Amino acid sequence: MVHEYALLEIVPERIDEFRSHEARAAEILTAAPGCVTVEFQLAVDQPATVLMKVGWDRIEDHLEVFPTTPQAEQLAALIGEFFATPPVVIHFER
């Protein structure tokens, strides 16, 4: 299993709206091939920063398969507009 850690900087005025979409974002992601788990955590010292943790069966499921899926389009449409900066993404092997 590979874990994707994505640091999301959200437009501060839109953090509550973003947070209201997290459950739907998790549903979309877990419907994608190879996605196992999704979790969102709000930073306590930087209120517009969210850590998105996604478990994938293989790194290829995230980097090669996911971008070609309807779920990738749905996720971008749902939460993409909330980003103040592009997400910082790192993968860790478990």
Residue 94 binned pLDDT confidence (cut-offs 50, 70, 90): confident
Q: How far apart are CA 60 and CA 58, in angstroms?
A: 5
The predicted model scores a pTM of 0.94
Average pLDDT, the chain: 97
Tokens at residue 47, please? Answer: 């209120």
Q: Which domains does the chain have, with CATH numbers?
A: 2-93 (3.30.70.100)
What are the pLDDT digits (tens) for 1-28? 999 999 999 999 999 999 999 999 999 9
SS (H, E, C) 9-72: EECHHHHHHHHCCHHHHHHHHHCCCCEEEEEEEECCCCCCEEEEEEEECCHHHHHHHHHHCHHH
